Structure 1
Amino acid sequence: MKTIKLAFILLSLFFFNSCKESLPTFNDEIEVFEVYDELQSLIDGNSEKTLVINFWATTCPPCLKEMPHFAEIQKHYDPKEVKVLLVSLDENKHLESRVIPFVERHKITPEVILLGDQNYSAWTDEIDPSWFGALPATLILKGEKRNFRFGAYETYQELLDDLNQIDS
């Protein structure tokens, strides 16, 4: 009888442990890029997959409202095919006080990068010539295909439609 109880306990532990591993975990590591060139290198290194790059800040209510849509993309696509990058444009000094608490509180799962390069006029044209730096903004790209959107995605379907334009 003790053997059966022990076997049951061990199987239960194994089952619960394997369920735990399948749950999404929030991104608790935030890399800080001091200059835009570091982000550009990351973009260049992922040319084989579709990149969804969202520029946001913790002080931007529309940015925060659309955040769940990017988590949905991350959840529904194979990470080998689609990579979501959430690029915070908060100042470096707000990493510990704003960005990390926001990511933890909302259990953000896509990769978060803090871009500390505050010289927007030097690099926003690299993202899209029509962009003057206002948030939110999203760039979806794969190879030579690009889709830039200034403004928030009101629905997940809007984001999905833009993603499908690139993947078609």
Structure 2
Amino acid sequence: MTGYRILYVALSLVFCLSCKEEKKNTLTATEVYRNNGIEIPAYDFDGFQPLLNIKDGKVRVINFWATWCKPCVAELPYFEMINKRYPKDQVEVILVSLDLPSNVDGKLIPFVRNQNLESRVLLLDDPDANSWIPKIDKEWSGAIPATIIYKDNKSKFYERSFTYNELEKELSKFDL
């Protein structure tokens, strides 16, 4: 009987630890903005951070941008082209808006609708930029546009804007 108790406790511990690990890799939105069929989840950095660590063989292109940033807006069509060119199980494009939450309904959602953005769009709403910016990249000044391209344990950070050909060239370094 004691052997079963030990086995039960051991299995319970393994189950709890695996649940904790699963939660660690789960995105947790603080809010979801909805308007005219468009849904934009908002995350603080802790809720967003698991997106930076997914290891499933897929290339992720994570672009930090805002509607008020002209160079950001100018390069968005290239990210959309990448999103359409590659199968979803190979490449995922994620557009991380740094717009203010007060501008989501009046600016961000209309922008997403007017530009027909099909890439995944989310809002990073964490006012403590000095704490989360270096967690993205130690050298990042916080200027946008900025992009991370990663696949499993290989990652590259770019604090600049891109043309379509430049994006393709960088993606080719990730064994697509």
Taking structure 1 as the reference length, the TM-score comes to: 0.79
Which portions of structure 1, spanning 4 or more consecutive aligned residues, are displaced by more than 4 angstroms? none
Aligned length: 140
Does the residue aligned with 2:149 lie in a helix, a strand or coil?
strand
Q: Is the Cα–Cα contact under 8 Å of residues 148 and 157 in structure 2 kept in the other structure?
A: yes
- Structure 1 residue 62 corresponds to structure 2 residue 98: no
CA distance in 2, matches of 1:139, 1:163: 11
CA distance in 1, matches of 2:145, 2:112: 17
Taking structure 2 as the reference length, the TM-score comes to: 0.75
- Structure 1 residue 163 corresponds to structure 2 residue 171: yes
Q: Give the direction of change, closer, same or farther, for the CA distance of 1:117–1:72 in structure 2 (3 Å limit).
A: same
- Structure 1 residue 51 corresponds to structure 2 residue 60: yes
Q: Give the direction of change, closer, same or farther, for the CA distance of 1:63–1:144 in structure 2 (3 Å limit).
A: same
1:115 alignment counterpart = 124
Q: Percent identity?
A: 40
1:66-97 per-position Cα deviation (integer Å, ceiling 9, x unaligned): 00001011101011111110000011111101
Q: Is the Cα–Cα contact under 8 Å of residues 55 and 153 in structure 2 kept in the other structure?
A: no
Q: Which runs of 5+ in 2 are unaligned?
A: 1-36
Q: Is the Cα–Cα contact under 8 Å of residues 86 and 110 in structure 1 kept in the other structure?
A: yes
1:21 alignment counterpart = none
2:39 alignment counterpart = 29
Q: Is the Cα–Cα contact under 8 Å of residues 50 and 167 in structure 1 kept in the other structure?
A: no
Shift of 1:46: 5.3
- Structure 1 residue 128 corresponds to structure 2 residue 154: no
Greater relative contact order (CA < 8 Å, ≥ 6 in sequence): 1
Does the residue aligned with 2:38 lie in a helix, a strand or coil?
coil
2:22 alignment counterpart = none
Q: Is the Cα–Cα contact under 8 Å of residues 91 and 118 in structure 1 kept in the other structure?
A: no
Please provide the CA RMSD for this pair.
1.4
Shift of 1:63: 0.1
